[in-house]
Each structure stands twice: as C-alpha cells, then as structure tokens.
Amino acid sequence: MWKHFARKPPYLCGANKKDSYMINTVIFDMDGLLVDSEPLWGLAIREVFDTLNVSLTPELTSRTTGLRTKEVVEYWHNHFKWNAKSTEQVTSEIIESVTHKIMAQGQPMEGLHYILDFFKERGFKMGLASSSNMSIISSVLNYLDIKPYFQAIISAEFEPYGKPHPAVYLSAAQELGASPLECVAFEDSVTGMTAAKAARMKVVVVPEHHNRNDKRYALADIQLNSLLDFNDHELAKLG
C-alpha cells in the first residue's frame, strides 16, 4: 500500500501482554540492504556538495548513513553554513542524482530474492521501512521488480522523525496489522538498527563489509555477512 495514512498510536496485538509473541512479520530497510545503493548515495551527495564548494570525503558522508536526505543536508549545512543554494534545492538535487545513479548502476544485494522468497514461502507479512523519499523507493522497487512482495511500504519522509527514531518501523507494523513484538527488522546500518530496536522489534543486521566490526552492532539479535546466511535455524533464534 503506497498512500500514507494518519495512524493511531502503535498497539500490541494479543489478549494479554504476558502472552508470548510469535515472529510472523518481517520489515526490511532498503538502501544498502536490498540494493547496493550506499556508495551511490555517497557519490551523489559529494557531487552536489561540490557545487557548493563543500568537500566531503567518503568517511564524512558515512556519518549520515541511514538519515533522511533532508536531515543529511541540514546536518552539513549546520556545519558548513553555505549560502549558494537553499537546503530544499540541495535536497532535491541529491534525490534526483541518486535516483538516476541507482537506475543506471544499482545492483541487487546478494541474496535479495532468496530472503524475500524465504519469508513469502513461510507466510510472513512483509513490509519495507526506508529513510529514502517515496519517489526513490518506488523507482527502486520497480527497477528490482520486487514491489509485489510487500504489503506495506513506508517512507520516513512522511514521519515526524526519521531513523534512529522508531516512527517508520512502528508505522510499518501498524499498517501490516502486527505488534512490534511480532516483527523482525532487517537492517544494514547502526542508525536503522537503533530505530528497529527502539520499536521493540527483533533485528537482523547485515552491515557493509567495512563496518562489520563496529561494536554497536552487538545491540542486534543476529549479525550476518550476507542475506544468504539467514535460514530456519537463525529464524528459530528469534523465538
């Protein structure tokens, strides 16, 4: 479902809070997890910022991984204080650039169809909760031909707060008719992992290779090197 609706506060399903919860819902991040887009995001940001005479290294752009585009722009505007363009214009240029780059160069992450089929075959409710703008999400899902897998597609663009706030995950759970305690989230970033844990979900992280030793990932329930590494044994660990 694409349209964003006003939502009531998240709720718990089940007759009693003491009841045990079965994991029956999976919610995926998108960038860096389903599509290898993080390097393209970094490149788009650096290219647009170059037009402002603001130089960002890959290390600097990695600081804002997982944030909404407008928050990335505001973060660096507060630091560099440029006047050449409005933050709205810079945000729009980044969105246009990254969309073009993903459509031209984006590759599915290893195990993309495996993990989607894994949960589909087991009858899980499936959703997507991304920091990307809905226009980017729509383009990517059509490009990868995976839109039919998801019963809920939520962009943090429409939430009052982006990740690491749990709002986008709570909205996805509610649209799927699931308690957060019935959900497992798949993430690739510390920011996204924090958001899902704050929503009280189980979390599986598949970090980029250069970030796998980040000790903050200890907060996740499971850490994997690839989506292909998830199986029924790992699912059982989540309870």
Q: In this predicted model, what pLDDT tens digit does every residue of 49-61 receive, in sequence order?
A: 999 999 888 888 8
Say yes or no: 60 and 124 in one domain.
no
The full 3-state SS of 113-150, as one line of letters, equals HHHHHHHHHCCCEEEEEECCCHHHHHHHHHHHCCHHHC
Number of independent structural domains in the chain? 2
Say yes or no: 98 and 114 in one domain.
no
pTM (predicted TM-score)? 0.85
Q: Could you say which of 31, 36, 188, 221 is catalytic?
A: 31
Note if 117 is an active site residue: no
Say yes or no: 135 and 68 in one domain.
no
Band the pLDDT of 147: cuts 50, 70, 90. Answer: very high
Say yes or no: 84 and 114 in one domain.
no
Note if 31 is an active site residue: yes
Q: Could you say which of 29, 36, 188, 221 is catalytic?
A: 29
Q: Which domain holds residue 165?
A: 25-36+108-237
Say yes or no: 48 and 69 in one domain.
yes
Say yes or no: 101 and 117 in one domain.
no
Say yes or no: 123 and 202 in one domain.
yes
Say yes or no: 212 and 124 in one domain.
yes
Q: What proportion of the chain, given as a percentage, has pLDDT over 90? A: 82
Indicate which CATH number applies to the domain containing 53.
1.10.150.240
Say yes or no: 119 and 166 in one domain.
yes
Band the pLDDT of 169: cuts 50, 70, 90. Answer: very high
Query: How far is Cα 158 from Cα 52, in angstroms, rounded to an integer?
Result: 28
Q: Where are the beta strands (DSSP E) in 143-219?
A: 152-155, 183-187, 202-205
**Cα 203 to chain center, whole Å?**
12
Residue 35 φ then ψ, to 5°:
-130, 140
pLDDT for the residue numbered 20: 63
- Express each pLDDT in 49-96 by its tens digit: 999 999 888 888 888 887 889 999 999 999 899 999 999 999 999 999
pLDDT tops 90 at residue 149: yes
